[in-house]
Chain A
Amino acid sequence: GDSVTQMEGPVTLSEEAFLTINCTYTATGYPSLFWYVQYPGEGLQLLLKATKADDKGSNKGFEATYRKETTSFHLEKGSVQVSDSAVYFCALSDRDGRRALTFGSGTRLQVQP
């Protein structure tokens, strides 16, 4: 079945550092890919998405590119802020049928001032 693998956390960075959170997936067909973010005490929020190979999703300075050849969707940000501290989840959706999300286990990011 479908699966998503994320790098384990926590990832601890200083403010203004460069961020990469790795995500790889296994899926049949051509899934849509997502990053969701969960801030402390809040629900899951959609951060960005990409629906086909070579698409780049971007939002709030975060970017991720759908790489079909490496089955990856790594999240990057050029300069993190303390307010980016959260748990980040990579997910995929099968594009036929139920379109349920399959999530990775999440990566906690801690940004220190």
Chain B
Amino acid sequence: ETGVTQSPTHLIKTRGQQVTLRCSSQSGHNTVSWYQQALGQGPQFIFQYYREEENGRGNFPPRFSGLQFPNYSSELNVNALELDDSALYLCASHLAGFTDTQYFGPGTRLTVL
């Protein structure tokens, strides 16, 4: 067990709404990365936060935004939801090095109707 938790487990939203997903970090980790895993696909990198600042971003539009708090927990916010946003959202807690293991939470399953 990694100690990384995510909430909620599942949620259902309608197109155009906004959603906030939450992630707790593992003790001692200062970096959080968020990934989107569409059905039948591998996880795709959304963005990363290091010491409360966005440190890198994948190919996702600005309506995907995030926060990292002083205790290194994190939020992912998605505005103006689209049907294609339906996916499993994973957060990973880790240190900032390129070789450091990323520890994943169980994910939040988002369904957009």
Q: Do A and B come from one complex?
A: no
Instruction: Give A residues with C-beta under 8 Å from B.
Output: none
